Amino acid sequence: MVFDYDLFVIGGGSGGVRAARIAAGYGASVALAEEYRMGGTCVIRGCVPKKLMVYASSYPDAMAEARAYGWQASCESFDWPRFRTTLHAELDRLEGVYTRNAEAAGVTLYHQRAQLIDPHTVLLADGSRLRARHILVATGGTPWLPEKFRNLGAMTSNEIFLAEKLPRSILIIGGGFIACEFACILHGLGVEVVQYYRGAQILRGFDDDLRAHVAAEMAAQGIGLQVDTDLVDLIRLDDGRFAATDTRGARREFDHVLFATGRVPNTFGLGLEAAGVKLAASGAIEVDAYSQTSVPSIFAVGDVTDRINLTPVAIREGHAFADTVFGAKRTPVDHSLVASAVFTRPEAGAVGLSEEEARQRGPVTIYMTTFRPMQSAFVGGQGRVMMKLVCDRDSKRVLGCHIVAPAAAEMIQLAAVAIGMGATKADFDRTVAVHPTMSEEIVLLRTPVCSD
């Protein structure tokens, strides 16, 4: 059988590009098709622009704190058009970097949509058919909206970066990390924010103490967080604003509405079923430990597989795929211990098991503290940080670490190394503290708050 390429990648995000570059480095002939922009969700409409917005939103509080420390500082208004212009210039630069790096590695790029015809053939939007020995699907995920609200002009996380101007008020629907992050970002930029979440507490899947602490801090800042509340009706008014009615019967008007109601695997219209690829009920591509689908020549990595939907995981999966298929090094990806961060204000970081998950496995010992950090407490700030260790009662091994604090994401990365190495509570205890810091508290926890 004659092939045009050894590997054809569908999707130019972090996972697909990493797989393509590593495979090309092994000497494979590689092509990649991306229908939108190189860099994928993370670079173009996810992690990167979001984190830059996090930075932008932090300055009003920083200026207020600076004044309390004695500086003549002010942060009068936010120039969204100026920021947006600079933001998109940076995204253009990063897209160029992704493109150049792929081409420099020898990858042939097709800037158009591709779909599967059979286990070895892809159809491009221009009608071209190309055959590949292996095909990798790395098309990521896409925002999901309830069907009844899809045609009203509300935003998702995809569109918010493209907004011509900031709204004065916004209703955010959802309680996951995207919803909570944008609630904090927009509030920091001066937008009046109300957030509805139908569940009992935000950030489902995280440790319960972390969830409660983040929720309390968000509410204390003035974000209108309402749990056990869902959207019942939404009307687009003549002036372009929105009228929202919730499950409590309240009706309020907002300049805009942002749905952060989850993401789904981006598999629609790719021809996967026709090619014989097995999909889960959610639309996710089912794969084994080596990212291989039910069709031996077709693989998938990243959010489209709905394993752990984080950019570093997609990159690791893409690299492992290339090592396995083209590098003669069978490399499964270990998904058992992956750190994550939520860029709320303050940030939340977590690695390992939550207290609730750990208790399902056996007896635990819990260490936890909350306190006002020195920097803000000095000028009367009331915000508190939280640090928590979940330990196996018998082996004393640290099973999980949960932090809510400024720079929690930076701290949790290092904690992940220790926990991944199997550190015990004694290992933490004998580590000398770095003083004065917030992070020292994680090695100064002495008295359990509870032990089974």
Which amino acid type is present at position 102?
A
Q: Where are the beta strands (DSSP E) in 304-410?
A: 340-342, 347-352, 364-371, 385-392, 398-405
- Number of H-type helices and E-type strands within the chain: 12, 22
Q: What are phi and psi of 450, to 5 degrees?
A: -165, 155
Active site residue 435: yes
Cis peptide before 119 (omega within 30 of 0): no
CA distance to 15, 20, 191, 321, 323, per residue, from 318 (Å): 5, 8, 39, 5, 9
d(C-alpha 256, C-alpha 132), whole Å: 46
Catalytic residue, chosen from 111, 256, 319, 435, is 435
**Alpha carbons 99 and 33: distance in angstroms, whole number:** 11
Could you tell me how far CA 22 lies from the centroid of its own chain? 24
Stated length of the chain: 452
Q: What is the 3-state secondary structure (H, E, C) of 268-304?
A: CCCCCCCCCCCECCCCCECCCCCCECCCCCEEECHHH
Q: Which residue numbers are catalytic? A: 435
